[in-house]
Structure 1
Amino acid sequence: MKRTQYAVIGLGRFGSSLARELTKLGHEVLGIDQDEEAVDEMSEVLTHVVVADSTDEEVLRSLGIRNFDCVIVAIGSDIQSSILTAILLKDIGVPLVVTKALSELHGKVLNKIGVDRVIFPERDMGIRVAHQLVSPNLLDFIELSRDYTIAELSVPKRMSGRTLKDLNLRVKYGCSVVAINKKEGVIIAPTANDLLEERDILVIIGTNSQIESFENEVVK
């Protein structure tokens, strides 16, 4: 697998967590922050770290930021710096700019200036937790877009011993099972004859309403 080069600007709680995980996944990560202490904390974790002002175009160019495959702007509370940094990155020619939004309005501005992806860590986590609270069988919930969702659902006892063909999810609900996580391993692209057991985890993709309909069926 190609080692993608990432740069993470802003090494606060979100940025440092993201940078650590990217490093664990085997990618090269450059960490950038104006706070020397934050940079020192990540110096032995990331591929490279540097104390720098990301709102200075010359500084960004000197770091060779244009050569990175993806740059994530994870600046904590300074909306002005976040927006200016994103503008500079797009102007310099970074292929993929992902920016953390601090509010809906901030997100709208980022979209207006052409950021490739805007993320709302606190809001998105809140949505996932809400779904998990409402449906005990729902283990994880990721909104792929405004309309599509991928969800992990635990197989209840009453569905144990049935096959995917028996459940007939595609016809009844319109959603698809893309994987089954079993004790002995994960089945990717399962067949209609794959047997389900209690506590297996179904990975399902579909529209939000399709997933919701199936959730309601599961928890009956």
Structure 2
Amino acid sequence: MKRRSFAVIGLGTFGSTVATELARFGNPVMGVDLDDKIVGRYADVLSEAVIADGRDELALREAGVGNYDVALVAIGEDLEANILCSMNVKMLGVKAIWVKALSKTHHRILSKIGVDRIVLPEQEVGQHIAQMLHNPLVRDYVSLGNGFHVVDLTVPEPLEGRAVGDVKLLSGYDLRALGAMREGEFLSCEGGELRLKTGDKLLVLGRRADLRRFGDDLLDEA
């Protein structure tokens, strides 16, 4: 995979977490923040760590932000600084721009600016946690867009020995089993012959309403 370079502007909890993870994956990452102490903290972790004001287009240009493939504007709390920085990064010609939004109104403003991806981390994490709190059998889930999700479900004891292809298992839910994880090994569900074991992690594809109903019914059986 071709490595991409990233500029993360705003090294608070969210921005620094993203920046350090990207660096851990082996990507060139530049961190930008106004606070010299924060910048110093990540000087040895990131490829570059620069003290600069995201509201200042010239400062970002001199820092070399325009040379990076992707920019993440992770400035929190200061709405004006976030918007100005997003506009500046766009003016510098960065190919892909991700921005942390502070509210739905902020989201609408960023959409008008034309950034590539708007992130509402608190809302997204909150929805994620609520899904798992609602049903303890749901270990994780991923949104694929257009209403489709993949859910990682823990197989309860009542499904022990049931074949994935059993028409009674997924019929009525409009779902598709993609595979299962068992003791660190991925098992294909192709053909529907795989027999489930208690504790398997079953990966299921479908729309949210069907997945929720299936998960709730599994919980009732558990």
**Which amino acid letter does the alignment assign opposite residue 110 of structure 2?**
L
Aligned length: 219
Structure-1 separation of matches of 2:169 and 2:24: 36
Q: Retained in 2: the 8 A contact 1:141–1:149?
A: yes
**Which amino acid letter does the alignment assign opposite residue 85 of structure 1?**
C
**Which amino acid letter does the alignment assign opposite residue 51 of structure 1?**
I
Please give the secondary structure, in 2, of the residue aligned with 1:162. coil
Q: Retained in 1: the 8 A contact 2:50–2:63?
A: no
Decide whether aligned partners of structure 1 residues 74 and 181 sit closer, same or farther in structure 2, where only a CA change above 3 A counts.
same
Please give the secondary structure, in 1, of the residue aligned with 2:158. helix
Q: Retained in 1: the 8 A contact 2:32–2:49?
A: yes
Calculate percent identity across the aligned residue pairs. Answer: 35
TM-score, normalized by length of structure 1?
0.90
1:170: Cα distance to partner? 6.4
Equivalent in the alignment of 2:81:
81
TM alignment of 1:45-84, pairs within 5 A: 45-84=45-84
1:194: Cα distance to partner? 2.6
Structure-1 separation of matches of 2:93 and 2:167: 49
2:6 aligned with 1:27: no
Residue-by-residue CA offset, 1:109-130 (whole Å, 9 max, x unaligned): 1112111111111111111111
Moved more, 76-85 or 207-216: 207-216
- Of structures 1 and 2, the larger Rg is shown by 2
Please give the secondary structure, in 2, of the residue aligned with 1:152. strand
1:83: Cα distance to partner? 0.7
Equivalent in the alignment of 1:148:
148
Tell me which stretches of 4 or more aligned residues in structure 1 moved more than 6 Å: none
Q: Retained in 1: the 8 A contact 2:10–2:74?
A: yes
1:167: Cα distance to partner? 5.7
Structure-1 separation of matches of 2:158 and 2:132: 20
Equivalent in the alignment of 1:197:
197
1:52: Cα distance to partner? 0.8
**Which amino acid letter does the alignment assign opposite residue 31 of structure 1?**
G
1:171: Cα distance to partner? 4.9
1:172: Cα distance to partner? 3.2
Decide whether aligned partners of structure 1 residues 178 and 40 sit closer, same or farther in structure 2, where only a CA change above 3 A counts.
farther
2:206 aligned with 1:206: yes
Moved more, 100-109 or 191-200: 191-200
Decide whether aligned partners of structure 1 residues 177 and 88 sit closer, same or farther in structure 2, where only a CA change above 3 A counts.
farther
Equivalent in the alignment of 1:3:
3
Decide whether aligned partners of structure 1 residues 124 and 217 sit closer, same or farther in structure 2, where only a CA change above 3 A counts.
same
Structure-2 separation of matches of 1:40 and 1:176: 49
Residue-by-residue CA offset, 1:11-55 (whole Å, 9 max, x unaligned): 001111111111222222111111111111111211211111122
1:146: Cα distance to partner? 6.4
**Which amino acid letter does the alignment assign opposite residue 157 of structure 2?**
K
- CA RMSD, aligned part only? 2.0
Moved more, 60-69 or 150-159: 60-69
Equivalent in the alignment of 2:133:
133
Residue-by-residue CA offset, 1:73-94 (whole Å, 9 max, x unaligned): 1102111111111112222221
Structure-2 separation of matches of 1:170 and 1:91: 50
Decide whether aligned partners of structure 1 residues 23 and 176 sit closer, same or farther in structure 2, where only a CA change above 3 A counts.
farther
Equivalent in the alignment of 1:157:
157
Structure-1 separation of matches of 2:31 and 2:91: 20
TM-score, normalized by length of structure 2?
0.89
Question: Tell me, which stretches of 5 or more residues in structure 1 are unaligned?
Answer: none
1:3: Cα distance to partner? 1.5
Please give the secondary structure, in 1, of the residue aligned with 2:77. coil
Equivalent in the alignment of 1:166:
166
